[in-house]
Amino acid sequence: MLKHLSRLTLGTLVAAAAMTSVPAHAGKTVDAIKARGQLICGVNTGLAGFSAADSQGNWSGLDVDVCKAIAAAMLGDASKVKWVPLNAQQRFTALQSGEIDILSRNTTWTLTRDASLGMSFTGATYYDGQGFMVPSKGKIKSAKQLKGATVCVQSGTTTEKNLTDFSRANKLEIKPVVFEKVEAATGAYFAGRCQAYTTDASGLASVRNKEAKVPADHLILPELISKEPLGPSVRRGDDEFLAIAKWVVFALIEAEEYNITQANVDGLAKTSTDPVVGRILGSSEDTGKLLGLDKEWAARAIKATGNYGEIFERNVGPKSPLGLPRGVNNLWSKGGIMYAPPVR
């Protein structure tokens, strides 16, 4: 019978089939997470505001909240996370080998990493840029004044290459002093072994707040010398888990757009007549079946951590110890570049 159908008719049938909503089947990573009842999340060994543990072993930070939200969406409980602290050299091997399910560790999304390390980035959760910190009492007020300076930097990072590129492009002849561990790099800077320390600007603020005896004694220079879109990544080849990881973050961003908060999420699920809110919270449509989850997946994530704006303010925002401005990390509708595809 098919041979009698016109090419146009066949094309219409194919298009219609492609547009039909097909429930997702679980991939091997999703199956493993559900079987063990726990998400294994790779995080920084300690970067205040992003991922750090207190004296009781409780983890907090922007990167930590991403994993808590995914655990809440998938497992119904934000506490069902095993935290694996990783340094810069360990992080990619841990993901590639299956030691962790997701890497949520202030990692820059680059072409090389995305295309050659067997990993897929889920999107940017913090837009950053590399900067420099110097002693306030010195004469250096601009990165362009670092000619011939010794600069402490961690190896195995985009930071190290950016420093070399910046020095060469501006004929500064900067002398990198390279350390494998970030604690060694910052320790050397505060001990006076280097004239400056360089990393992402958010990391500079974190280190200054956490490790400097007197934070005001250290100046973060105004220039940013790179683009550093930071975000989680998962192993390549498991599209089902990739879809869950990125859409949980998108839902947190869109929740902020529609004023869905940790405090009002339950009430809005019952009373809101806004169709977008209904789709996000599962009260009017079931988007969860397309991810292999139930209809309240996003509502649980928001209830566990708050929306993206709440996560930002609590961990790194102006009222947090880091005191970082929202800046480009504001919503696209408020002058920033934080933008999520629609949950529909």
Per-residue pLDDT of 231-290, as tens digits, reads 999 999 999 999 999 999 999 999 999 999 999 999 999 999 999 999 999 999 999 999
Report helix angle 28-36 to 239-257, nearest 10: 80
**Residue the block writes with tokens 């041979």:** 3
Strand, helix or coil for residue 106: coil
DSSP string of 43-56, one letter each residue: EES-BTTTBEE-TT
Mean per-residue pLDDT, 14-39: 74
Query: Could you tell me the pTM of the whole model?
Result: 0.89
Per-residue pLDDT of 51-68, as tens digits, reads 999 999 999 999 999 999
* Predicted pLDDT of residue 286: 96
User: How far is residue 328 from each of residues 61, 179, 276, 292, 331, measured CA to CA in Å?
Assistant: 19, 30, 25, 33, 8
Percent of the chain with pLDDT over 90: 91
Per-residue pLDDT of 156-197, as tens digits, reads 899 999 999 999 999 999 999 999 999 999 999 999 999 999
For residue 18, name the pLDDT band (cuts at 50, 70, 90): very low
Class of domain 130-226: alpha beta
Burial of 220 (0-12, 13-18, 19+ CB in 10 A): middle
**CATH 3.40.190.10 in the chain, residue ranges:** 28-127+230-318, 130-226
Please state which architecture CATH assigns to domain 28-127+230-318. Answer: 3-Layer(aba) Sandwich (3.40)
* Predicted pLDDT of residue 240: 97
What number of other Cβ atoms are within 10 A of residue 332's Cβ?
A: 12
In what side-by-side order are the strands of the sheet with 233-235?
81-86, 39-44, 102-103, 233-235, 119-121
- Residues 166/143, Cβ–Cβ less than 8 Å: yes
Q: Give the bridge partners for 42, in sequence order.
A: 84, 103
Per-residue pLDDT of 139-166, as tens digits, reads 999 999 999 999 999 998 999 999 999 9
Q: Classify the phi-psi angles of 337: left when phi > 0, otherwise alpha if psi is within -120 to 50, otherwise beta.
A: alpha
- Residues 40/30, Cβ–Cβ less than 8 Å: no
Task: Say how far residue 185 (Cα) sits from the centre of its chain.
Answer: 23
